[in-house]
């Protein structure tokens, strides 16, 4: 990190700068902010009163309860507020536009199936008759068990077998409005046969295949290539079949789903126009439609850029509702059709904001050499040559200096291999090389045009911060589809961050790192962070992780589910822990991969016992060994350490390690240079 950048900005750092640096106003959607103490706060609006709580206070509460990091923090009121926002906004727009029907939201369970989420949606959503969209039998069962109002809808998508259909018909018998959305022609005869046999009138919908193509990251399967939905001729077949059984009056709903995370409002409007065309013609065919279901797609602005790029959106919730209501109203009024109930199946936008992944930093490796090792008499000529470079380093010769440094380093490595330079000399050369790169980087910052080959230099000199989490378990989309999530420190924000870093997780997989971060209207290869303070934890939060992350995660390196904590913010800005779920123990994850912990314990015990028999250990030692093993089995899979005080000034006075001394391997700046054994010795 070049000094020049610090100097320019040193005097102007403040909370406002922190807000723009991490873009919190953009992606925070009014739920997150930074307080005057430099801590991230979560905010909700309850009955017109804004409540806010610092995430650090919540972290302190976790410490008091001895809950170890990483933790998935859920803030229940944020979920409530999302449901309230979508229902209230549609309601207001409908009133304003004098639309002649109502809005009914449903939550697609697949987006986050956790019981706590589903139950809270059912509970809070009751006042709005917010229902569920289900795509499988287990989701159907979850919906039936959770739903609190039978005026809410249950929309059944996906492939439905007889059992699925019977469940739905029983629900209808109970008074629930449960729609079967026909996705393939095979399910229609089962619905007809079962409903006749059981004497229950089904609610039927049809899912149409949309041809409107949608831009964005998630939508390569939208349009004609979609695997879902009925073609025009299949729709006609459904109509004819229902007519023949005298059941066309049961066809009441038209369903379409353009895709998830639709960044552009133009695409949404285009989709609604197409849906209305189907709606009109199916009505003309005699189907007494009364519901139009537009599926999901309402995007989350992960970058806060308000743009039509894939990880953002170029519209507000208000605009989304206005465009839908207005398009349906104008299109169908022209056809003299009555306005249908509008249904949307927003998943991502409903649950993304509620969850935050919190973790601590275990260690840092820095590629920064503060002092150039002093010259020694009799130093090898190549090392002397390397030292020389600094004497001719200036903008005009920056590429040449870089080439020279590279060349001498290579030569020195060769000599080391042949035994002509010893390890100590090699270490000196390494430090010299790095300090030269740093100086070169400093010079580059003063130049308007940076030579192409040197463009990535600043990133490759960035620190690596090792975070106590598994990307594969907690942020699978970050790995699988390069999804960006807002990431930032949740404290110390009144203080200027002086480091630029990439993040690595604690799996030993070189894909377990994050090297793209949200920055001003774009993304950046590094994240500004604070230097670690000795004996004090440094906490980062990954925000907007409530949608699609929680059950996609895998057991890479057998890191399991994290601890989960749900809090509810109260009036007067206090909060309570409403639920805590302990993450997987080591025994849990082992049993997921078919080990049997009990059997493992007994086979280990036998080994230890035979060591006693052979006289290698005493019976007392035997017990210690067994206790350690069994204790571990019940432990957390992540890095556990003595809990440190969050805010108190540190009382520990262990000697601070020179972080650069870690730097002993053959250097590979691009890769993960640090062996994991070095992790976490910083504190």
Ligand X SMILES: *Cc1c(COP(=O)(O)O)cnc(C)c1O
Residues making contact with ligand X (CB under 6 A): 108, 110-111, 133, 157, 257, 260-261, 295-298, 345-348
Cβ proximity to ligand X: between 253 and 364 the closer is 253
Cα end-to-end distance, the chain, whole Å: 23
Phi/psi region, residue 518 (left: phi>0; alpha: psi -120 to 50; beta: rest), is: beta
CA torsion, ordered 378, 379, 380, 382, to nearest 10 deg: -140
Name the minimum Å distance from CB 110 to ligand X: 6
What separation in angstroms does the CA of 218 have from each of 98, 199, 346, 616?
34, 42, 15, 60
Name the minimum Å distance from CB 164 to ligand X: 15
Name the minimum Å distance from CB 518 to ligand X: 20
3-state secondary structure of 55: helix
Residue sitting closest to ligand X (CB) = 296
Check if the beta carbon of residue 503 is closer than 8 Å to that of residue 526: no
What gap in Å lies between CA 413 and CA 416, rounded to an integer? 5
- Residue 575 CA to chain centroid, in angstroms? 24
Name the minimum Å distance from CB 267 to ligand X: 13
Cβ proximity to ligand X: between 68 and 549 the closer is 549
Name the minimum Å distance from CB 302 to ligand X: 13
3-state secondary structure of 539: strand
Check if the beta carbon of residue 173 is closer than 8 Å to that of residue 197: no
Cβ proximity to ligand X: between 350 and 438 the closer is 350
Name the minimum Å distance from CB 152 to ligand X: 16
- CB neighbours of residue 395 within 10 Å: 13
Name the minimum Å distance from CB 218 to ligand X: 8
Q: DSSP states of 180-236 as a string?
A: EEE-STTHHHHHHHHHHHHT-PPEEEEEBPP-----STT-TT-GGG-SSSB-HHHHH
How many residues are there in the chain?
683
Cβ proximity to ligand X: between 242 and 256 the closer is 256
Cβ proximity to ligand X: between 202 and 205 the closer is 205
Cβ proximity to ligand X: between 295 and 512 the closer is 295
Q: DSSP states of 387-449 as a string?
A: HHHGGG-SGGGHHHHHHHHHHHHHHHHHHHHTTSS-HHHHHHHHHHHHHHHHHHHHHHTT-SS
What gap in Å lies between CA 373 and CA 488, rounded to an integer? 35
Cβ proximity to ligand X: between 38 and 105 the closer is 105
What gap in Å lies between CA 70 and CA 450, rounded to an integer? 40
Cβ proximity to ligand X: between 350 and 637 the closer is 350
Name the minimum Å distance from CB 208 to ligand X: 12
Name the minimum Å distance from CB 671 to ligand X: 35
Cβ proximity to ligand X: between 275 and 398 the closer is 275
Helices and strands, counts by H and E, the chain:
22, 23
Cβ proximity to ligand X: between 111 and 589 the closer is 111
What are the structure tokens assigned to 421, written together?
Answer: 């330079």
- CB neighbours of residue 595 within 10 Å: 13
Name the minimum Å distance from CB 306 to ligand X: 18
Per the DSSP assignment, residues forming a β-bridge with 244 are none
Name the minimum Å distance from CB 283 to ligand X: 22
Cβ proximity to ligand X: between 350 and 526 the closer is 350
Name the minimum Å distance from CB 262 to ligand X: 7
Residues 6+ apart with CB under 8 A from 144: 154, 167, 171, 176
What gap in Å lies between CA 48 and CA 596, rounded to an integer? 54
Name the minimum Å distance from CB 285 to ligand X: 23
- 3-state SS, one letter per residue, for 261-274: CECCHHHHHHHHHH
What gap in Å lies between CA 365 and CA 486, rounded to an integer? 23
Cβ proximity to ligand X: between 319 and 534 the closer is 319
Cβ proximity to ligand X: between 276 and 298 the closer is 298
Nearest 5 degrees, angle CA 521-CA 222-CA 293? 100
What gap in Å lies between CA 4 and CA 344, rounded to an integer? 51
Cβ proximity to ligand X: between 308 and 468 the closer is 308
Name the minimum Å distance from CB 51 to ligand X: 27
- Residue 196 CA to chain centroid, in angstroms? 46
């Amino acid at each position: 990190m070049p000094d020049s950048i610090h100097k320019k900005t040193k005097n102007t750092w403040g909370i406002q700068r922190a807000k723009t640096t991490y873009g919190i106003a953009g992606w925070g959607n009014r739920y997150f902010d930074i307080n005057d103490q430099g801590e991230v706060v979560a905010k909700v609006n309850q009955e017109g009163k804004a409540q806010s709580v610092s995430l650090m206070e919540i972290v302190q509460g976790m410490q008091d309860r001895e809950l170890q990091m990483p933790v998935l923090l859920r803030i229940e009121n944020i979920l409530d507020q999302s449901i309230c926002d979508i229902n209230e906004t549609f309601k207001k727009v409908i009133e304003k536009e004098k639309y002649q029907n109502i809005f009914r939201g449903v939550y697609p369970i697949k987006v986050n199936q956790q019981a706590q989420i589903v139950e809270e949606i059912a509970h809070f959503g009751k006042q709005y008759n917010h229902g569920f969209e289900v795509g499988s039998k287990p989701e159907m069962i979850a919906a039936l068990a959770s739903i609190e109002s039978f005026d809410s809808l249950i929309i059944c998508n996906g492939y439905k077998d007889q059992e699925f259909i019977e469940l739905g018909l029983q629900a209808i018998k109970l008074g629930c409005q449960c729609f079967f959305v026909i996705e393939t022609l095979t399910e229609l005869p089962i619905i007809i046969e079962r409903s006749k046999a059981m004497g229950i009138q089904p609610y039927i919908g049809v899912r149409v295949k949309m041809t409107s193509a949608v831009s964005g990251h998630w939508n390569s399967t939208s349009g004609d290539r979609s695997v879902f939905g009925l073609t025009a001729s299949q729709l006609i077949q459904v109509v004819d079949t229902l007519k023949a059984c005298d059941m066309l009056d049961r066809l009441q709903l038209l369903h379409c789903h353009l895709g998830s995370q639709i960044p552009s409002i133009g695409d949404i409007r285009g989709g609604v126009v197409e849906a209305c065309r189907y709606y009109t013609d199916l009505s003309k065919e005699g189907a007494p439609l009364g519901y139009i279901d537009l599926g999901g797609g309402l995007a989350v602005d992960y970058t806060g850029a308000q743009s039509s790029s894939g990880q953002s959106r170029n519209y507000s919730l208000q605009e989304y509702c206005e465009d839908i209501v207005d398009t349906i109203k104008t299109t169908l009024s022209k056809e003299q059709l009555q306005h249908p109930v509008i249904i949307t199946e927003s998943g991502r936008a409903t649950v993304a904001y509620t969850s935050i992944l919190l973790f601590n930093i275990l260690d840092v490796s820095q590629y920064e050499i503060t002092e150039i090792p002093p010259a020694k008499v009799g130093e090898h000529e190549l090392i002397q040559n390397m030292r020389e470079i600094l004497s001719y380093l200036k903008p005009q010769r920056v590429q040449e200096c870089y080439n020279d440094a590279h060349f001498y380093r290579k030569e020195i490595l060769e000599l080391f291999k042949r035994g002509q330079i010893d390890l100590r000399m090699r270490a000196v050369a390494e430090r010299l090389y790095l300090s030269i790169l740093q100086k070169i980087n400093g010079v580059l910052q003063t130049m308007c045009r940076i030579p192409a080959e040197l463009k990535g230099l600043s990133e490759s000199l960035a620190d690596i911060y090792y975070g106590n989490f598994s990307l594969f378990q907690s942020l699978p989309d970050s790995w699988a589809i390069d999804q960006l999530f807002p990431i930032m420190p949740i404290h110390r924000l009144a203080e200027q961050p002086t480091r630029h870093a990439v993040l690595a997780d604690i799996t030993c997989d070189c894909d377990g790192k994050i090297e793209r971060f949200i920055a001003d209207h774009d993304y950046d290869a590094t994240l500004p962070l604070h230097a670690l303070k000795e004996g004090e934890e440094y906490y980062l939060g990954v925000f907007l992780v409530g949608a699609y992350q929680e059950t996609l995660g895998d057991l890479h390196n057998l890191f399991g589910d994290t601890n989960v904590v749900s809090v509810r913010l109260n009036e007067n800005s206090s909060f309570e822990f409403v639920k805590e779920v302990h993450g997987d123990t080591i025994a849990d994850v082992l049993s997921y991969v078919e080990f049997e912990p009990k059997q493992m314990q007994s086979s280990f015990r036998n080994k230890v016992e035979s060591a006693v028999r052979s006289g290698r250990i005493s019976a007392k030692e035997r017990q210690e060994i067994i206790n350690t093993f069994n204790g571990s089995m019940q432990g957390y899979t992540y890095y556990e350490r003595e809990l440190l005080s969050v805010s108190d000034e540190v009382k520990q006075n262990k000697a601070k390690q020179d972080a650069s001394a870690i730097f002993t391997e053959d250097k590979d700046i691009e890769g993960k240079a640090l062996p994991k054994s070095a992790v976490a010795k910083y504190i």
